[in-house]
Amino acid sequence: MEKEKVILAYSGGLDTTAIIPWLKENYDYEVVCCCINVGQGNELDGLEERAKLSGATKLYIMDVVDEFADEYIVPCVQAGAVYENKYLLGTSMARPLIAKILVDVARKEGAVAICHGATGKGNDQVRFELGIKALAPDLKIIAPWRCNETWKMKSREDEIEYCRQHGINLPFSADNSYSRDRNLWHISHEGLELEDPACAPNYDHLLVLGVSPEKAPDEGCEVSISFEQGVPVALNGEKLKVSEIIAKLNELGGKHGIGIVDIVENRVVGMKSRGVYETPGGTILMEAHTQLEELILDRATLSCKKEIANRYADVVYEGKWFTPLREALQAFVVSTQKYVTGEAKMKLYKGNIIKQGTTSPYSLYNESIASFTTGDLYDHHDAEGFINLFGLSLKVRAMKMAEVEKNQK
């Protein structure tokens, strides 16, 4: 009789390597590993051998970098979604796509369960599981770190020893390093000195994608990004895929110390956590898109869109990508992007993004109106009547309060 299958979200690291024999020992499943490439830059060579050596029967390596860029990053850029005004949602955007691919592989393999290595304290368990529940409510979800009766490992040393006992001798070390998550959009850092908000980050030891502003070149770099209907289509005049634009902006932004953010954020599970995020390309791209919208969107739409952006960021952060609410918010965002076409020019200099000019065929900026020189479209005298009407409620209230005060004397 064939064993039931479980799909394991596999990175090749120590945690997911230890999970393979643990699943076989505690569930008697056939373990199929799935490594999903969202641009994390990890070396994928040798992963199949490692997975099979650890007891898996098969490894899928799924390259979804372009899908990540086009279907997950772009909607968040168009929305202007930033969680708690700082976090550009790098990990949050990737998790629903990873959940979707895990479900696809589970269906292909006829699996009965999906397993992930997220801890019981983090956001990722929520994101993975909400995605899986939305797409495949029939599949069982296994989270080893929440299985207190069977998952006895509390440290890297415990995991290494567990692997050794099961005949898995791989070059893992027990060194205490930052906990990182990397993809095309960003890299996050947690742990070590970052666990104490009173400590400054050790940027010389921590940074991966770039340098601190102090160590950036003394000479800035100018870039231009072109958009069509809110989608980035060209960098410095060269037509490129979105994923290619982000990759090139990561190099430029990292070199000039762009996009380093130190955050204490409110996790979905209720606790506060401190981390440092490097999002060089994403920070530039979001700023360019914002600059273009300043020219194109009318005051009322731009104001409403800022409210939607905050709600959209919360929804994505909480792992609610595959929900009617996210789709409805997205529909509003898409409608605002119809005319967000043009070019934003910027200078990158020691952690700063400095405007160098923004143009669009749909710009609502009218020099004849905005200029201090009186033009045909604006008569200064018209402002008097406008102010009288705009301030009428204030005047009426002030008159009433004066009357009440007089009667009380």
Same-domain check for residues 346 and 230: yes
Same-domain check for residues 345 and 382: no
The beta-carbon contacts of 41-44 under 8 Å, at least 24 apart in sequence, are 41/182, 42/11, 42/12, 42/182
**Is a pLDDT exceeding 90 seen at residue 113?**
yes
Give the H/E segment covering residue 193: none
Residue 339 vs residues 213, 234, 277, 291: alpha-carbon distances, Å: 35, 17, 32, 14
Sequence-separated (6 or more) residues with CB below 8 Å from residue 230 = 74, 77, 78, 289, 336, 337, 340
pLDDT in tens, 217-265: 999 999 999 999 999 999 999 999 999 999 999 999 999 999 999 999 9
- What span, in angstroms and rounded, lies between the C-alpha atoms of 163 and 170? 8
Same-domain check for residues 210 and 128: no
126 belongs to a structural domain: yes
**Is a pLDDT exceeding 70 seen at residue 372?**
no
- What span, in angstroms and rounded, lies between the C-alpha atoms of 24 and 17? 12
Q: What local confidence, expressed as pLDDT, does residue 290 receive? A: 98
Q: What local confidence, expressed as pLDDT, does residue 56 receive? A: 97
**Is a pLDDT exceeding 90 seen at residue 107?**
yes
In a 3-state reduction of DSSP, which class is residue 45? coil
Indicate the range of 53-57, 161-165, 227-231, 373-377 predicted with least confidence: 373-377
pLDDT band for position 366 (50/70/90)? confident
Same-domain check for residues 229 and 161: no
Q: What local confidence, expressed as pLDDT, does residue 41 receive? A: 80
Same-domain check for residues 136 and 49: yes
Residue 352's Cα: distance from chain center in Å? 21
Same-domain check for residues 211 and 354: yes
Sequence-separated (6 or more) residues with CB below 8 Å from residue 235 = 223, 224, 225, 226, 244, 245, 248, 249
- What span, in angstroms and rounded, lies between the C-alpha atoms of 346 and 348? 7
328 belongs to a structural domain: no
Q: What local confidence, expressed as pLDDT, does residue 373 receive? A: 64
Closest CA to 145 of 106, 180, 183, 118: 118
99 belongs to a structural domain: yes
Same-domain check for residues 132 and 258: no
Residue 185 vs residues 89, 209, 259, 273, 341: alpha-carbon distances, Å: 9, 11, 11, 20, 22
How many of the other CB atoms lie within 10 Å of CB of 323?
15
- Over residues 279-304, mean pLDDT: 98
Indicate the range of 55-64, 274-283, 400-409 predicted with least confidence: 400-409
Which positions are annotated as active-site residues? Answer: 15, 95, 124, 179
368 or 267, which is more confident: 267
pLDDT band for position 39 (50/70/90)? very high
- What span, in angstroms and rounded, lies between the C-alpha atoms of 378 and 278? 46
pLDDT in tens, 159-214: 999 999 999 998 888 887 899 999 999 999 999 999 999 999 999 999 999 999 99
Rg (CA), the chain: 26
pLDDT band for position 149 (50/70/90)? very high
Give the tokens for residue 349: 């200099």
Same-domain check for residues 345 and 197: yes
Q: What local confidence, expressed as pLDDT, does residue 225 receive? A: 98
In 220-276, which residue ranges form alpha helices assigned H by DSSP? 242-255
Single-letter amino acid, residue 12 = G
2 or 255, which is more confident: 255
- What span, in angstroms and rounded, lies between the C-alpha atoms of 54 and 32? 11
CATH of the domain at 351: 3.90.1260.10
Q: Can you give the pTM of this predicted structure?
A: 0.94
305 belongs to a structural domain: no
pLDDT in tens, 307-357: 999 999 999 999 999 999 999 999 999 999 999 999 999 999 999 999 999
The percent of residues above 70 in pLDDT, for the chain, comes to: 98
Same-domain check for residues 233 and 350: yes
315 belongs to a structural domain: no
DSSP designation for 70? I
Domain count, the chain: 3
292 belongs to a structural domain: yes
**Is a pLDDT exceeding 70 seen at residue 371?**
no
- What span, in angstroms and rounded, lies between the C-alpha atoms of 150 and 134? 28
- Over residues 114-138, mean pLDDT: 97
303 belongs to a structural domain: no
Its domain, for residue 118, covers 5-165
- What span, in angstroms and rounded, lies between the C-alpha atoms of 75 and 66? 13
368 belongs to a structural domain: no
pLDDT in tens, 252-271: 999 999 999 999 999 999 99
Same-domain check for residues 16 and 159: yes
- Over residues 387-393, mean pLDDT: 94
Same-domain check for residues 190 and 125: no
pLDDT in tens, 59-97: 999 999 999 999 999 999 999 999 999 999 999 999 999
Same-domain check for residues 42 and 135: yes
CATH of the domain at 68: 3.40.50.620
